[in-house]
Chain A
Amino acid sequence: MRDMEERITLKGSRDGLRLILHPTAAWEEVLEALRKQLAQGSSFYHGAKLLIDVGERSITDVELQAILAIMAEHDIEPAALITIAPTNRTTGRQAGVETRHPDSLRSTPPPVVQGEGLFLWRTVRSGQAIKHQGHVVVVGDVNAGAEISAHGSIIIWGRLRGSVHAGVGGNQQAIVCALELSPTLLRIADNLARTPDNHRPTGPEQASLDGDNIVVVPWDAPRR
C-alpha cells in the first residue's frame, strides 16, 4: 500500500495547484488515493481550483464525473483539464471543464504580481494567452496573435494589436484602453468589435460599452 500515494501527485505549479494522475495506475486506485489525499488536507483545499492533469491517459465521461464529484465534496472546483489525448477534449467539454494541452501551460510565463489585478511588464507575444479573473495591466506591447482575457478591465501601456476580451462573464463596466488601440478583435462582456481596416490611432484610446455597442473614444482625461 506504500505506493498508494504515487497514484496521484498534488503540486503547486506556476499555473496553480496541479493534480497529476498516474498514467497507468488502475482507475479505482487513483480515485481512492485522491479521496484520501483530499480528506487529509480537507480545510487546506477548501475553495481551491485544481488543474487536473491526466497526461496521456484517456478518460471517459463517467471517470471525469467521478473525479469532479470527489472534488465537489471538498468544495474544490476544476480549473482545467490538462490532457494530451484529443478524445479528452470532448469529455471535458461535455462536463463543462476547460481543457488545455500541457504545452499551453509552459508557453505562458509566470505573472509578476498576482492579486486583484495582474501586472505584466513585458511584451505579450503571438501564441501567448493571458487569462485573469481581475484586471490586467500590461506595460509593453501586445502583439498580433496574443490573447488577453480578463473578468475586469484591460489596460495596455503600449501597442495593442492582439485580441482582447474584457469583462469575461458579463461585466458591462469593463473597459479596454491602450496607447495604440488596434486590436485584431476586441470583446467587452458579450459584445464584439473589430478594428476598422483603415483605423490609424493617433493617440491613446479607450473602448467601453454603450448599451450593446462598443464605443472607442480618444483618451483626453483633462477635458472630462
Chain B
Amino acid sequence: MAQVITITSGKGGVGKTTTTANLATSLAMQGQRVVAIDADIGLRNLDVVMGLENRIVYDLVDVVEGRCRTRQALIKDKRFPDNLFLLPAAQTRDKDAVTPDDMIALCNELRREFDFILIDSPAGIEGGFKNAIAPADHILIVTTPEMSAVRDADRIVGLVEAYEKSNPKLIINRIKARMVARGDMMDTPDVVEILAIDLIGIVPDDESIVVSTNRGEVAVLDRDSMAGKAYNNIANRLLGHDIPFLVLDEKQGLWAQLVSMFRTRR
C-alpha cells in the first residue's frame, strides 16, 4: 500500500515542482514504485521538469471524468520505465474540474500498485490546494529562507492542522551558505523556530538546478549536484533512514562538504 505525500508551500516559486520531481526520481532510483501527480491544473509544470512534456496523451481531468482508464494516463519515465510514472495535470481546464473526493478516490485506486504517490500541489490556499492535500498521508511544506515564503508556510501549517492532517514536515530550499554566513539570509534554525515543525531536509541554492530543470533532467541524477544530494537525503529520510543534514558552508562543492562533515563528527 502506497504512502500519499503531498508537496505544498502556499507561496509560488519556492520549488514545489522541482522537489516533487527530484524526490520521485530519487525514490525510483532506489527501486520504489512511484507515481507523481501534478495537481496544478491549468498551470502544469511537473511534466516539463521531468522531461515528459511531449508524451502527454491523457491527463488527470480525463481520468477523473472517465475519458480514459487511470493506467492509460500514466506516463512512463524514460529513465525508470518500470517504476516511475507521471500523471500530468490538464492544461486547458482549471482547479474546479476536480474535487477533493476525486483525488481521494484516484489515490485509493493507485495505492495498490505503488509504494509512493507524490502530489505536486499548486500555490495558494484555494481549491487546488485542498484537492492536493485531501488524499495525503504525509505533507511536506517547502519554503525558502525568505520572510514572505516562511509567512505563507506558517499559514499552510495552520490549514494543514485544520484539515486534521498530522505532522507536516519542512523542507528549506535554496539556502545560500555565503549569505547565511554573512548574516544576510535567515538560517535554518531561524526558520524552524518560527514554524515549529520537524525539518526533513535543507537544500542548498544550486545553479545546476536551473539548467537541469530547463533540460527536463533532474538534479538527483547528477552526481555533482549538491541540491541533488540534498534531495537524495530527503528521499532516504522518507524511506525511514537516519541521514545527517548536509553541512552547508561557503565552500560549495562536494569535497568541501565531505571534509566539513568529517570535521563536525569528530
Residues of chain B touching chain A, judged by Cβ–Cβ distance below 8 Å, are: 125, 151-152, 154-155, 157-159, 161-163, 194, 196
A143 to chain B: which residues have CB within 8 Å? 151, 154, 194
Given A126-B158, A141-B194; 19 other pairs, CB 8 A cutoff: A106-B162, A107-B158, A107-B162, A108-B162, A123-B157, A123-B196, A125-B154, A125-B155, A125-B157, A126-B154, A126-B155, A127-B125, A127-B155, A127-B158, A140-B196, A143-B151, A144-B154, A145-B154, A145-B155
When C-beta atoms are compared, the residue in chain B nearest to A162 turns out to be B154
B151 to chain A: which residues have CB within 8 Å? 126, 143-145
6 closest Cβ pairs, A-B complex: A125-B158, A126-B155, A126-B154, A127-B155, A107-B162, A125-B154
Pick the contact of A107: B152, B154, B159 (CB < 8 A).
B159
A125 to chain B: which residues have CB within 8 Å? 154-155, 157-158, 161
Summarize B's interface: helix, strand, loop or mixed. helix
B158 to chain A: which residues have CB within 8 Å? 107, 125-128
Residue with the highest number of chain B CB atoms closer than 10 Å, among A140, A143, A144: A143
CB pair A109 B196 closer than 8 Å: no
Pick the contact of A109: B125, B152, B161 (CB < 8 A).
B161
User: How far does the alpha carbon of A123 sit from the alpha carbon of B196 in the complex, in Å?
Assistant: 8
Number of A-B contacts (CB under 8 A): 36
CB pair A141 B155 closer than 8 Å: no
Residues of chain A touching chain B, judged by Cβ–Cβ distance below 8 Å, are: 106-109, 123, 125-128, 140-141, 143-145
B157 to chain A: which residues have CB within 8 Å? 123, 125
User: How far does the alpha carbon of A141 sit from the alpha carbon of B195 in the complex, in Å?
Assistant: 9
B125 to chain A: which residues have CB within 8 Å? 127
24 contacts between A and B (CB under 8 A): A106-B162, A106-B163, A107-B158, A107-B159, A107-B162, A123-B157, A125-B154, A125-B155, A125-B157, A126-B151, A126-B152, A127-B125, A127-B158, A127-B159, A128-B158, A140-B196, A141-B196, A143-B151, A143-B154, A143-B194, A144-B151, A144-B154, A145-B154, A145-B155
User: How far does the alpha carbon of A143 sit from the alpha carbon of B161 in the complex, in Å?
Assistant: 15
User: How far does the alpha carbon of A123 sit from the alpha carbon of B194 in the complex, in Å?
Assistant: 9
User: How far does the alpha carbon of A144 sit from the alpha carbon of B151 in the complex, in Å?
Assistant: 7
A128 to chain B: which residues have CB within 8 Å? 158
B161 to chain A: which residues have CB within 8 Å? 109, 125
User: How far does the alpha carbon of A108 sit from the alpha carbon of B125 in the complex, in Å?
Assistant: 15
A109 to chain B: which residues have CB within 8 Å? 161-162
User: How far does the alpha carbon of A145 sit from the alpha carbon of B155 in the complex, in Å?
Assistant: 8
User: How far does the alpha carbon of A127 sit from the alpha carbon of B152 in the complex, in Å?
Assistant: 9
User: How far does the alpha carbon of A106 sit from the alpha carbon of B161 in the complex, in Å?
Assistant: 10
A107 to chain B: which residues have CB within 8 Å? 158-159, 162
B162 to chain A: which residues have CB within 8 Å? 106-109
A140 to chain B: which residues have CB within 8 Å? 196
When C-beta atoms are compared, the residue in chain B nearest to A143 turns out to be B154
B159 to chain A: which residues have CB within 8 Å? 107, 127
Distance in Å from the Cβ of A157 to the closest Cβ of chain B?
A: 14
A141 to chain B: which residues have CB within 8 Å? 194, 196
When C-beta atoms are compared, the residue in chain B nearest to A158 turns out to be B196
Distance in Å from the Cβ of B189 to the closest Cβ of chain A?
A: 14
